[in-house]
Amino acid sequence: MTQTEAASITPGLERISPRKTRVGLVSGGLGAYWPQFPTLLPQLQASARRVSARLSDLDCEVVDVGFISDAQEGAEAAAKLRAADCDLIIGFLTTYMTANMLVPVAQRSGAPVLLLNLQPSETMDHASFDTGAWLAYCGACPLPEMANAFERCGIDFRSVSGYVEDERAWTRIGRWVKAAGVRASFRHGRHGLMGHLYPGMMDVSSDPTLVSSQLGGHVETLEIDDLRVRVEQVTDDETAARMDLARDLFTLDESVAVDDFRWAARVSVALDRLVADFALDSLAYYHRGLDGEMHERVGAGLILGASLLTARGIPTVGEYELRTSLAMLVMDRLGAGGSFTELQALNFRDDVVEMGHDGPAHLAISSRRPLLRGLGVYHGKRGWGVSVEFDVRHGPVTLCGLGQHRDGTFCLVASEGEVVPGPLLAIGNTTSRVDFGRDPGEWTDEWSGSGVGHHWALGTGHRVPDLRAVADLLDLELRVV
């Protein structure tokens, strides 16, 4: 059983249900054709219904405003789609149509636009087709016109050409729908920032206003006391139930002290309440504390609860790493998991880069049953307790970080590699050996110079095509190493 499957059936670890991506669909063709070719409109409307049905299969909410035949109907469709507050607007060019039918839709919707040119089948039957039959295959004709008009009107767009049952085209369409979902997660997101910056980590420091201005959403500033008071309210029965859940999901190493395990479970329950009370979609935290007092103990007890939240689809990370929690949100919503990661060491004998992190991990990408290990000290941090340890599932992976330019603008940074087997440290970290198909020193130099910080999200699968779509809809540069 995978960790994703376990998360879906284990009581207490149910994945959240994010807001469904809302896709607006308007299909159309030139009304002058209908009296000339009486069978054409019904054929095109049938294609439009099929496209609407296939969009619904992509696990999105489809707002289908119907078929338009002229500019007046286009304006009416624009009003409906604007009111629907869509995350993506799709214009289906079933045959030739004039640009003034879709430009108002794009101008008024406030959402990214995707144009579809999907003809009925792979090719025409040239021997038998007349003009009316050909026109059903003529969606490509207006695409350059739309592109020119959109460019001159200052409207960004993207397009997919193929045929109605073309799986290659639908893979690309699905990629845009997923990217629109990521964009919506930011537009509607609430991101927690609890505690304070790890002293001296200049790369980690982020201006919360830049998140709202460039990505949308809201950053909620929290104090460690917001969690402390909730920890104090957790009952013994709730703590015991959380310990049972952890035993179901983890192997407990003999190094785990019972009192530390109990404390981590108690903090985990309180962390769930904090996230629910503030309606958070992600959380980044750090608190130093002093000499074993309550604030230090709360800060040190977060790893178990943070990993459980991350597995449920609420990325939760240490070291006050707001941008990495957002990168993890991207990877999670793309179905890639996304675990908190940094460089550990380079192995020039095997030509791999060893990377990982202590603290929160995404259970869905573990190659095995994850381990809870007891640590008497957290390196570089105050306190002690339990930490999560596992090897990332072997196979293709993608790194994704949210970098920042000198002018303050964000960028996505990505690199694809493969996790390969081999020796790993057993120190309470999520670790992996990643082969990038090149000298690990050269890769590390290029990755470090990309503008990424010293943390990022590591997810399964090769996701650069998905990230290109995400970057396009978020109007971010994508740097691929």
Contact, 198 vs 191, CB < 8 A? no
Distance of CA 143 to the CA centre of its chain: 30
| pLDDT value, residue 9 | 43
**The model's pTM:** 0.92
- Alpha-carbon separation of residue 77 from 81, 106, 241, 401 (angstroms): 6, 10, 52, 38
For 322-338, b/e burial (b = at least 16 CB within 10 A) is: bbbbbbbbbbbbbebbb
| Statement: 22-186 belongs to CATH 3.40.640.10 | no
- Please, where in the chain does CATH 3.40.50.10940 lie? 22-186
318 beta partners? none
Placement of tokens 């957790």 in the chain = 234
d(CA 364, CA 308): 10
Task: Give the Cα separation of 232 and 299 in Å (integer).
Answer: 14
- Regions of the chain with pLDDT less than 70: 1-11, 359, 376-377, 379-383
Task: Count other Cβ atoms within 10 Å, centred on residue 108.
Answer: 16
| ∠ CA 128-130-133, rounded to 5° | 95
At the topology level of CATH, where does 188-480 sit?
L-fucose Isomerase; Chain A, domain 3 (3.20.14)
For Cα atoms 42, 45, 46, give the angle at the middle one, nearest 5 degrees: 85
Query: What is the per-residue pLDDT for 8?
Result: 47
Residue ranges of the chain assigned to CATH 3.20.14: 188-480
- The predicted pLDDT at position 345 comes to 93
Q: Are 101 and 70 a contacting pair, CB within 8 Å?
A: yes
Measured distance CA(244)–CA(265) in Å, rounded: 9
Distance between CA atoms of 340 and 319, rounded to whole angstroms? 10
CA 374 → CA 250, 260, 383, 464, distances in Å?
A: 13, 8, 12, 36
**How would you class 79 by CB atoms within 10 Å of its CB: exposed for 0-12, middle for 13-18, buried for 19 or more?**
middle
